[in-house]
Structure 1
Amino acid sequence: MSSDKFDRPAIKLHTGDVLTLQNIGGQWKKHESGPDLSLVWIQGEVVSCTDDLDQVELKDQGCLGTVSGCQSIPGGTTWISEGMYVMVIGEVMGGGNVKAVKIVDLSDDSVYKTMWEHEVAEAKAVITENPDLFT
């Protein structure tokens, strides 16, 4: 991931939204004139993990997405297990795959899961109303 991607905030999206992003000119977007959504913040329940814990599958609103490169994040992922509710910040790789930059266990407080839909809706509204903030 190039360092300039860290100059913009990670955009909160549902896994289903990540599945629909298109690579346009090297940037991941919903549509051609949309902002760069290459760095995303997703949340969901871990439904499966590879044996080496380098890849997990997340479920959010019935959609499945893949998080890869988990072992390369600071602190590793030896603590990840199926059924956990986690937050992932990562780089969109295409096809519903996000390369992890940061993963946090949110399982201990149900408010994170409860508020997630509202947080994503608010983020989408901000992007729609102020697209120049993300260019």
Structure 2
Amino acid sequence: MFEHPAHKLHIKDLNMCIKTSDDFWKLEFKFGEMLNTTKFISFKYVWLQGFIEETAGKENEILIVGDHSGKVRVTHCNTVPGGSSWLVKGKYCSVVGSLVRESGMPEVAAIKLTDLSKNPVLASMWPYEVEELTKLHTEQAMPKLPGS
């Protein structure tokens, strides 16, 4: 997993992903005054954050997680390190996993789940983190380096 870091996305972005191989996906971004510039981000894993809206299954193996942009079905929750007993409706969490389905309600197979509920700043900052990283990946914003 470490050779392919998870890419921060909004849930709505999952609907626009295109499968490129068994394990990889790409997301196309169009920008510019006439939307005539296109950049692609290729990824193996996604990193999402949102509020748990529903839990299902004997051991909370399935979640519905929502952010300001949509909802995602998260599976394999009972197999992640740390267990699934903390997964309850209303908790704010981080989801790292593999995109399984992009159409309709997207589905992600969880690899890592983290309870972020104790720090409400994380929920308010997430949209900005995703936007900043997307701009850096698509070269719409480049950091100013000393001496450049």
Please list every run of 5 or more consecutive structure 2 residues that lacks an aligned counterpart in the other structure: 29-37, 141-148
1:32-71 equivalent positions in 2, closer than 5 A: 34-52=40-58, 53-71=60-78
Which protein has the bigger strand share?
Answer: 2
Whole-Å separation in 1 of the counterparts to 2:66 and 2:75: 14
2:32 corresponds in structure 1 to: none
| Matches of 1:97 and 1:106, distance apart in 2 | 21
Sequence identity percentage: 30
Alignment of 1:1-135 (within 5 A): 5-26=1-22, 27-31=24-28, 34-52=40-58, 53-95=60-102, 96-129=106-139
Q: Higher helix share goes to which structure?
A: 1
Alignment gaps of 5+ in structure 1: 131-135
Runs of 4+ in 1 over 6 A off after TM superposition: none
Match of 1:133 in 2: none
Q: TM-score scaled by structure 2?
A: 0.78
Amino acid aligned to 2:14: V
Residues 66, 98 of structure 1: 8 Å contact kept: yes
The alpha-carbon distance between structure 1 residues 126 and 62, as it changes in their structure 2 partners (threshold 3 A), is closer
In structure 2, what residue type is equivalent to 1:28? Answer: W
- By relative contact order (CA 8 Å, sep 6+), the higher-ranking structure is 1
Question: How many matched pairs?
Answer: 126
If the length of structure 1 is used for normalisation, what is the TM-score?
A: 0.85
Instruction: Return the offset for 1:20.
Output: 1.8
